[in-house]
Protein backbone atom coordinates (compact mmCIF):
# COMPACT_ATOMS: atom_id res chain seq x y z
CA UNK A 1 0.00 0.00 0.00
CA UNK A 2 1.13 3.54 -0.71
CA UNK A 3 -1.92 5.79 -0.30
CA UNK A 4 -2.57 7.07 3.22
CA UNK A 5 -4.79 9.37 5.25
CA UNK A 6 -3.26 10.76 8.43
CA UNK A 7 -5.83 11.74 11.06
CA UNK A 8 -4.49 13.96 13.84
CA UNK A 9 -6.22 14.66 17.14
CA UNK A 10 -5.91 18.44 16.75
CA UNK A 11 -3.68 21.07 15.12
CA UNK A 12 -1.16 21.31 17.96
CA UNK A 13 2.45 21.22 16.83
CA UNK A 14 3.27 17.92 18.55
CA UNK A 15 0.74 16.17 16.30
CA UNK A 16 1.29 18.26 13.18
CA UNK A 17 5.07 17.81 13.31
CA UNK A 18 4.85 14.01 13.23
CA UNK A 19 2.17 14.12 10.53
CA UNK A 20 4.33 16.35 8.29
CA UNK A 21 7.31 14.01 8.67
CA UNK A 22 5.13 11.09 7.68
CA UNK A 23 3.64 12.97 4.73
CA UNK A 24 7.07 13.98 3.44
CA UNK A 25 8.42 10.43 3.63
CA UNK A 26 5.38 8.92 1.92
CA UNK A 27 5.58 11.42 -0.95
CA UNK A 28 9.34 10.86 -1.34
CA UNK A 29 8.60 7.16 -1.77
CA UNK A 30 6.08 7.90 -4.53
CA UNK A 31 2.94 7.55 -2.41
CA UNK A 32 0.02 9.79 -1.55
CA UNK A 33 -0.71 11.26 1.88
CA UNK A 34 -3.30 13.68 3.23
CA UNK A 35 -3.42 15.22 6.70
CA UNK A 36 -6.87 15.58 8.26
CA UNK A 37 -7.74 17.12 11.63
CA UNK A 38 -10.16 14.94 13.57
CA UNK A 39 -13.69 16.31 14.06
CA UNK A 40 -14.61 17.57 17.51
CA UNK A 41 -14.81 14.95 20.24
CA UNK A 42 -18.32 13.78 21.04
CA UNK A 43 -19.69 14.56 17.59
CA UNK A 44 -20.87 11.91 15.16
CA UNK A 45 -19.45 13.80 12.19
CA UNK A 46 -17.86 11.54 9.61
CA UNK A 47 -14.43 11.90 8.02
CA UNK A 48 -14.08 12.50 4.29
CA UNK A 49 -11.15 10.49 2.89
CA UNK A 50 -9.47 10.34 -0.47
CA UNK A 51 -10.89 7.62 -2.74
CA UNK A 52 -7.35 6.24 -3.09
CA UNK A 53 -6.85 5.77 0.65
CA UNK A 54 -5.60 2.29 1.55
CA UNK A 55 -4.63 2.89 5.18
CA UNK A 56 -5.60 5.34 7.91
CA UNK A 57 -3.00 6.51 10.41
CA UNK A 58 -4.29 8.06 13.62
CA UNK A 59 -2.00 10.30 15.67
CA UNK A 60 -2.90 10.82 19.32
CA UNK A 61 -3.65 7.82 21.46
CA UNK A 62 -6.09 4.95 21.87
CA UNK A 63 -8.99 7.40 22.08
CA UNK A 64 -8.14 8.97 18.72
CA UNK A 65 -7.93 5.53 17.11
CA UNK A 66 -11.29 4.45 18.56
CA UNK A 67 -13.07 7.62 17.42
CA UNK A 68 -11.62 7.35 13.91
CA UNK A 69 -12.44 3.64 13.70
CA UNK A 70 -16.10 4.32 14.47
CA UNK A 71 -16.28 7.23 12.02
CA UNK A 72 -14.74 5.24 9.15
CA UNK A 73 -15.84 1.65 9.86
CA UNK A 74 -18.20 1.55 6.87
CA UNK A 75 -15.28 2.28 4.54
CA UNK A 76 -13.50 -0.92 5.67
CA UNK A 77 -10.09 0.76 5.46
CA UNK A 78 -7.49 -0.65 7.92
CA UNK A 79 -6.16 1.58 10.68
CA UNK A 80 -2.81 1.99 12.39
CA UNK A 81 -2.36 4.08 15.54
CA UNK A 82 0.56 6.33 16.47
CA UNK A 83 0.63 6.94 20.22
CA UNK A 84 1.66 10.39 21.39
CA UNK A 85 -0.41 10.21 24.56
CA UNK A 86 -0.46 7.95 27.59
CA UNK A 87 0.28 4.23 27.67
CA UNK A 88 -2.22 2.39 25.51
CA UNK A 89 -2.96 -1.06 24.16
CA UNK A 90 -4.30 -0.24 20.68
CA UNK A 91 -1.59 1.94 19.13
CA UNK A 92 1.41 -0.05 17.93
CA UNK A 93 3.59 2.91 16.96
CA UNK A 94 5.10 6.08 18.40
CA UNK A 95 6.98 9.04 16.93
CA UNK A 96 10.24 7.05 16.88
CA UNK A 97 8.90 3.99 15.05
CA UNK A 98 6.33 5.37 12.62
CA UNK A 99 8.74 6.27 9.79
CA UNK A 100 10.20 2.74 9.77
CA UNK A 101 6.65 1.39 9.76
CA UNK A 102 5.94 3.26 6.53
CA UNK A 103 8.72 1.22 4.87
CA UNK A 104 7.03 -1.99 6.00
CA UNK A 105 3.67 -0.87 4.63
CA UNK A 106 5.14 -0.04 1.22
CA UNK A 107 6.78 -3.50 1.17
CA UNK A 108 3.53 -5.23 2.14
CA UNK A 109 5.08 -6.54 5.37
CA UNK A 110 2.04 -6.42 7.65
CA UNK A 111 -1.08 -8.30 8.71
CA UNK A 112 -4.67 -7.10 8.99
CA UNK A 113 -6.74 -8.07 12.02
CA UNK A 114 -10.51 -7.79 12.30
CA UNK A 115 -11.92 -6.62 15.62
CA UNK A 116 -15.45 -7.26 16.84
CA UNK A 117 -17.68 -4.32 17.83
CA UNK A 118 -20.84 -3.96 19.93
CA UNK A 119 -24.05 -2.12 19.11
CA UNK A 120 -26.65 -0.85 21.54
CA UNK A 121 -29.97 0.96 21.62
CA UNK A 122 -32.75 1.83 24.04
CA UNK A 123 -36.03 -0.08 23.96
CA UNK A 124 -37.10 -1.07 20.43
CA UNK A 125 -35.52 1.94 18.71
CA UNK A 126 -33.06 -0.04 16.58
CA UNK A 127 -32.89 2.80 14.05
CA UNK A 128 -31.09 4.85 16.72
CA UNK A 129 -28.41 2.33 17.63
CA UNK A 130 -24.77 3.20 18.29
CA UNK A 131 -21.58 1.17 18.05
CA UNK A 132 -18.57 0.68 20.32
CA UNK A 133 -15.14 -0.79 19.73
CA UNK A 134 -14.13 -1.04 23.41
CA UNK A 135 -17.21 -1.08 25.57
CA UNK A 136 -20.68 0.07 26.45
CA UNK A 137 -20.95 1.18 30.08
CA UNK A 138 -24.09 1.61 32.16
CA UNK A 139 -23.73 3.62 35.35
CA UNK A 140 -25.76 5.79 37.70
CA UNK A 141 -26.55 9.29 36.47
CA UNK A 142 -25.63 10.43 39.97
CA UNK A 143 -22.11 9.23 40.67
CA UNK A 144 -22.75 9.13 44.43
CA UNK A 145 -25.66 6.67 44.16
CA UNK A 146 -25.77 2.98 43.39
CA UNK A 147 -28.24 1.53 40.90
CA UNK A 148 -30.12 -1.75 40.91
CA UNK A 149 -29.86 -3.58 37.60
CA UNK A 150 -31.69 -6.55 36.13
CA UNK A 151 -29.52 -8.24 33.50
CA UNK A 152 -31.08 -10.45 30.84
CA UNK A 153 -29.27 -12.70 28.37
CA UNK A 154 -31.30 -13.89 25.39
CA UNK A 155 -34.50 -12.93 27.21
CA UNK A 156 -33.72 -14.83 30.43
CA UNK A 157 -32.83 -13.10 33.71
CA UNK A 158 -29.16 -13.73 34.44
CA UNK A 159 -28.95 -11.82 37.73
CA UNK A 160 -30.11 -8.80 39.68
CA UNK A 161 -27.37 -6.64 41.09
CA UNK A 162 -26.79 -3.43 43.03
CA UNK A 163 -23.66 -1.45 42.28
CA UNK A 164 -22.13 1.45 40.40
CA UNK A 165 -22.93 -0.04 37.01
CA UNK A 166 -21.97 -2.61 34.40
CA UNK A 167 -19.30 -2.79 31.68
CA UNK A 168 -20.27 -4.67 28.53
CA UNK A 169 -16.99 -5.14 26.71
CA UNK A 170 -15.55 -6.51 23.49
CA UNK A 171 -12.32 -8.52 23.52
CA UNK A 172 -10.52 -5.38 22.32
CA UNK A 173 -11.99 -3.49 25.29
CA UNK A 174 -10.88 -6.14 27.78
CA UNK A 175 -7.67 -4.13 28.33
CA UNK A 176 -9.56 -0.84 28.83
CA UNK A 177 -12.13 -0.02 31.56
CA UNK A 178 -12.80 -3.74 31.98
CA UNK A 179 -9.17 -4.24 33.06
CA UNK A 180 -9.42 -1.43 35.62
CA UNK A 181 -12.53 -3.11 37.04
CA UNK A 182 -10.57 -6.38 37.44
CA UNK A 183 -12.24 -8.03 34.48
CA UNK A 184 -10.49 -10.76 32.46
CA UNK A 185 -8.01 -10.04 29.68
CA UNK A 186 -8.86 -11.88 26.47
CA UNK A 187 -7.25 -12.06 23.04
CA UNK A 188 -8.69 -9.23 20.88
CA UNK A 189 -9.12 -11.59 17.93
CA UNK A 190 -11.64 -13.74 19.77
CA UNK A 191 -15.35 -12.97 19.45
CA UNK A 192 -17.22 -12.86 22.74
CA UNK A 193 -18.95 -10.46 25.11
CA UNK A 194 -17.71 -9.65 28.62
CA UNK A 195 -19.95 -8.51 31.47
CA UNK A 196 -18.05 -6.92 34.36
CA UNK A 197 -19.91 -5.33 37.31
CA UNK A 198 -18.68 -1.98 38.62
CA UNK A 199 -18.21 -1.99 42.40
CA UNK A 200 -21.03 -4.47 43.06
CA UNK A 201 -22.59 -4.61 46.52
CA UNK A 202 -22.09 -8.35 46.90
CA UNK A 203 -19.32 -10.76 47.86
CA UNK A 204 -20.04 -13.18 45.03
CA UNK A 205 -19.80 -11.01 41.95
CA UNK A 206 -17.64 -12.10 39.00
CA UNK A 207 -17.20 -11.16 35.37
CA UNK A 208 -19.16 -13.33 32.97
CA UNK A 209 -18.03 -14.35 29.49
CA UNK A 210 -20.81 -14.78 26.92
CA UNK A 211 -20.77 -16.10 23.36
CA UNK A 212 -20.76 -13.42 20.69
CA UNK A 213 -24.30 -14.28 19.53
CA UNK A 214 -25.76 -13.42 22.96
CA UNK A 215 -28.13 -10.48 23.34
CA UNK A 216 -27.78 -8.58 26.60
CA UNK A 217 -30.58 -6.41 27.98
CA UNK A 218 -30.34 -4.30 31.12
CA UNK A 219 -33.12 -2.59 33.04
CA UNK A 220 -32.84 -0.26 36.01
CA UNK A 221 -35.08 -1.13 38.94
CA UNK A 222 -36.22 1.81 41.11
CA UNK A 223 -35.13 1.46 44.75
CA UNK A 224 -37.21 4.33 46.15
CA UNK A 225 -40.69 5.60 45.38
CA UNK A 226 -40.03 9.25 46.17
CA UNK A 227 -37.00 9.79 43.90
CA UNK A 228 -36.32 9.28 40.20
CA UNK A 229 -33.26 7.10 39.75
CA UNK A 230 -31.80 7.16 36.29
CA UNK A 231 -28.78 5.61 34.64
CA UNK A 232 -26.44 6.68 31.87
CA UNK A 233 -25.35 4.54 28.92
CA UNK A 234 -22.02 5.45 27.32
CA UNK A 235 -20.48 4.13 24.11
CA UNK A 236 -16.66 4.10 24.25
CA UNK A 237 -16.55 6.72 26.98
CA UNK A 238 -18.41 9.92 26.15
CA UNK A 239 -18.84 9.21 22.44
CA UNK A 240 -21.95 9.79 20.31
CA UNK A 241 -25.04 7.99 21.58
CA UNK A 242 -24.29 8.47 25.26
CA UNK A 243 -27.57 9.27 26.96
CA UNK A 244 -29.66 8.93 30.11
CA UNK A 245 -32.35 6.30 30.57
CA UNK A 246 -34.93 5.66 33.26
CA UNK A 247 -36.48 2.57 34.90
CA UNK A 248 -39.07 2.58 32.09
CA UNK A 249 -36.32 1.95 29.52
CA UNK A 250 -34.35 -1.12 28.50
CA UNK A 251 -30.83 -1.06 27.05
CA UNK A 252 -30.29 -3.78 24.45
CA UNK A 253 -26.73 -4.71 23.46
CA UNK A 254 -25.42 -7.25 20.98
CA UNK A 255 -22.56 -7.89 18.59
CA UNK A 256 -22.46 -5.37 15.74
CA UNK A 257 -22.36 -6.40 12.12
CA UNK A 258 -19.47 -3.95 11.55
CA UNK A 259 -15.87 -4.93 12.22
CA UNK A 260 -12.83 -2.70 12.57
CA UNK A 261 -9.80 -3.63 10.49
CA UNK A 262 -6.47 -2.92 12.17
CA UNK A 263 -2.95 -3.29 10.82
CA UNK A 264 -0.48 -5.33 12.84
CA UNK A 265 3.24 -4.84 12.14
CA UNK A 266 4.70 -6.47 15.22
CA UNK A 267 5.62 -10.16 15.08
CA UNK A 268 4.79 -10.54 18.79
CA UNK A 269 1.61 -12.45 19.55
CA UNK A 270 -1.03 -11.13 21.96
CA UNK A 271 0.39 -12.78 25.09
CA UNK A 272 3.88 -11.48 24.32
CA UNK A 273 2.51 -7.95 23.84
CA UNK A 274 0.58 -8.12 27.12
CA UNK A 275 3.64 -9.41 28.96
CA UNK A 276 5.70 -6.53 27.56
CA UNK A 277 3.08 -3.98 28.65
CA UNK A 278 3.01 -5.42 32.16
CA UNK A 279 6.80 -5.23 32.43
CA UNK A 280 6.74 -1.61 31.23
CA UNK A 281 4.19 -0.80 33.93
CA UNK A 282 6.22 -2.59 36.60
CA UNK A 283 3.79 -5.49 36.89
CA UNK A 284 6.50 -8.14 36.92
Q: What is the pLDDT of residues 254-267, one digit of tens each?
A: 999 999 999 999 77
Q: Which CATH number goes with the domain that contains 18? A: 3.40.50.10330
Res 12 pLDDT > 80 = yes
Contact 61, 38 (CB under 8 A): no
Dump pLDDT digits (tens) for 194-212.
999 999 988 778 899 999 9
User: How many angstroms separate the Cα of 261 from the Cα of each of 3, 69, 83, 167, 172?
Assistant: 16, 8, 18, 23, 12
Are residues 212 and 139 located together in one domain of the fold?
yes
What is the residue-averaged pLDDT of the chain? 90
The answer to whether residues 147 and 251 belong to one domain is yes
Assess whether 173 and 92 both reside in one domain. no
| Residues 124, 206 within the same domain | yes
Question: Within this chain, do residues 103 and 134 fall inside the same structural domain, yes or no?
Answer: no
- Indicate if 122 and 68 belong to the same structural domain: no
Q: Which stretch, 99-113, 125-139, 261-275, has highest mean pLDDT?
A: 99-113
pLDDT above 80 for 1: yes
**Number of structural domains found in the chain:** 2
* pLDDT tens per residue across span 151-183: 999 999 999 999 999 999 999 999 999 999 999
Q: Name residue 232's beta-bridge partners.
A: 139, 244
Are both 45 and 146 inside the same structural domain?
A: no
For residues 145 and 169, state if they share a domain. Answer: yes
What is the distance between the alpha carbons of residues 284 and 275, in angstroms, rounded to a whole number?
9
Domain around 20: 3-110+265-280
β partners of residue 166: 138, 197
Confidence of residue 62 (pLDDT cuts 50, 70, 90): very high
Per residue in 218-239, pLDDT (tens digit) is 999 877 666 677 899 999 987 7
Q: Identify whether residues 95 and 227 lie together within a single domain.
A: no
pLDDT 10s digits, 127-155 = 889 999 999 999 988 877 889 999 999 99
What CATH number is given to the structural domain containing 126? 2.60.200.30
Q: Quote the pTM value.
A: 0.92
Q: Do 158 and 215 have their domain in common?
A: yes
Does residue 249 carry a catalytic annotation?
no
Q: Which of 10, 44, 62, 135 is catalytic?
A: 62
> Do residues 261 and 77 touch, judged by C-beta distance below 8 A?
yes
Q: What average pLDDT score do residues 38-56 get? A: 87
Q: What pLDDT, on a 0 to 100 scale, did the predictor assign at position 13?
A: 95
Same domain, 96 and 159: no
pLDDT of residue 170: 98
- 79 & 148 share domain: no
User: How far is the C-alpha of 87 from the C-alpha of 30, rounded, in Å?
Assistant: 33
Amino acid sequence: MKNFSIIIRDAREKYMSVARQMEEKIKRMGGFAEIIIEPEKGSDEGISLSKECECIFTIGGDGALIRTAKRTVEKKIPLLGVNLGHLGYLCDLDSETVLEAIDSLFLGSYEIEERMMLEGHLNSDEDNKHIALNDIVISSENSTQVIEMIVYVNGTVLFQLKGDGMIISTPTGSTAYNLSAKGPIVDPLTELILLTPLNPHTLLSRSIVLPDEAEVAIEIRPRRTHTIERARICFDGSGPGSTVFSPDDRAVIRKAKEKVRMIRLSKMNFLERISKKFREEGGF
